[in-house]
Amino acid sequence: MLDKLGVKPTSKILYEKIRHPETNRMTSILNGTRFLYIEPLSDDRVLPRLHTCAGLQCKIFHFGQPKKASNPICTNCWKTGHNRTRCTSDAACKVCKQTGHLPGQKDCPYFEQQKHLTPFCGSEDVLSNFYPCELDICGVNHKSAEHAFQYIKAVRCGDLEAANTIKEADTALSALRFGKKVKVNQQWESTKAEVMQDILENKCVQVPMFQEKLRTSKQSTIFVEATFNDEWGSGLDRQGTLNTKPEHWPGSNKLGLLLKKIAKKVRKRKLSDSVNRKQRNSNRDQSRQLNIVQMLKQLRTASDSDVSGCNPDSDSSSDEGK
């Protein structure tokens, strides 16, 4: 890779190690980061931020490398290039970007009352990741699904100190805030949806109320996290979510889609168990009916035998006549 980049190293490749989260002492555990010194680059030359080495995608950082340009979005007018504190425009709707109303109000062109939605949010809703519950994920006990998700993120990104802090957080909201401070890598971005699904499936097994909520849902039910999270939720509050066409939600609602997928599995498993139970009951009833038929046959056989054994012309009958 160094030859392809045309750089001349002036030192050996050095490996960065992880510090102990409690003692802050250097350990022998490598965190995957490598660094080295090279000869100065020409004034107008910089190295690419991403490059492939041995089939792996690597990030390259060096002094003078231009930072990734940020394009902030204002949460007041929803235009780019500035943030809310510097906005001088009137407040606009997050859905249609027009002024004079908020999402979920009748003035919004995408207003429509939804009938088959199951919105959820907050620590009091069992469908929410913030709902307090004991979860055992890979041998580690967590206080909620959010604790588990943020903990795994910190571990996979190599921040063990943050992982311990998240694990001991009192609430799911605190765990989320600590998790936001973790610097994520590309691997986490590509696998976090699978991690979330695994956590939800474990929650379905370990929290009966959660499983029952999914099992009793209808096939037409649309689960949606009614929060301002544009990735996992609808990107709107509860009122805006319930009164906006789903295809116009600013958020992707990934969490709701995962719940719908798991609910389908739970209903299918329950239906299979019900069919098997009915089949067993039917077989049991047929067996009982067969036993009754056999018993009746035996009674008839015994009765016929008794009748044939009773002869009116026998000696006992003659004696009684005398």
CATH number of the domain that 159 lies in? 1.10.357.40
User: Within this chain, do residues 122 and 33 fall inside the same structural domain, yes or no?
Assistant: no
Cα separation of 189 and 201, whole Å? 20
User: Within this chain, do residues 237 and 128 fall inside the same structural domain, yes or no?
Assistant: yes
Cα separation of 306 and 308, whole Å? 6
Do residues 137 and 205 lie in contact, with contact meaning Cβ atoms separated by under 8 Å?
Answer: no
Query: Among residues of the chain, what percentage have pLDDT more than 90?
Result: 55
Residue range(s) defining the domain that contains residue 116: 102-267
Q: What is the dihedral of CA 75, 81, 87, 89, to 10 degrees?
A: -90
Does any domain span residue 320?
no
User: Within this chain, do residues 124 and 242 fall inside the same structural domain, yes or no?
Assistant: yes
- Model pLDDT, residue 280: 62
pLDDT score of 29 more than 50: yes
Does any domain span residue 179?
yes
Which domain-ending residue is among 267, 288, 312? 267
HSE, CB side, 13 Å, CA atoms: give it for residue 101: 14
Cα separation of 145 and 196, whole Å? 9
- Cα three-residue angle 246-250-253, rounded to 5 degrees: 65
- Model pLDDT, residue 30: 86
Cα separation of 253 and 231, whole Å? 6
Of the candidate ranges 26-30, 220-224, 237-241, the one whose mean pLDDT is the lowest: 26-30
Kindly indicate the confidence band of residue 123, based on its pLDDT and cuts at 50, 70 and 90.
Answer: very high
Which domain-ending residue is among 228, 248, 267? 267
Cα separation of 174 and 280, whole Å? 50
Residue of 212, 196, 193 lying closest to 204 (CA atoms): 212
User: Within this chain, do residues 236 and 162 fall inside the same structural domain, yes or no?
Assistant: yes
**pLDDT by residue (tens digit) across 203-227?**
999 999 999 999 999 999 999 999 9
Does any domain span residue 298?
no
Question: What SS3 class is residue 106?
Answer: coil
Choice between 50 and 88, residue whose per-residue pLDDT is larger: 88
Cα separation of 240 and 243, whole Å? 5
**pLDDT by residue (tens digit) across 33-62?**
888 888 888 767 888 878 788 777 788 888
Chain-centroid distance, C-alpha 299: 63
- From the CB of residue 228, how many other CB atoms can be counted at a distance below 10 Å? 16
Helix residue ranges, H only, the chain: 2-5, 145-156, 160-167, 172-180, 186-206, 208-215, 238-242, 254-309, 315-321
Does any domain span residue 108?
yes
Average pLDDT of the residues in 4-14: 87
Q: What are the beta bridge partners of residue 309? A: none
Please give the tally of structural domains in the chain.
Answer: 2
Does any domain span residue 307?
no
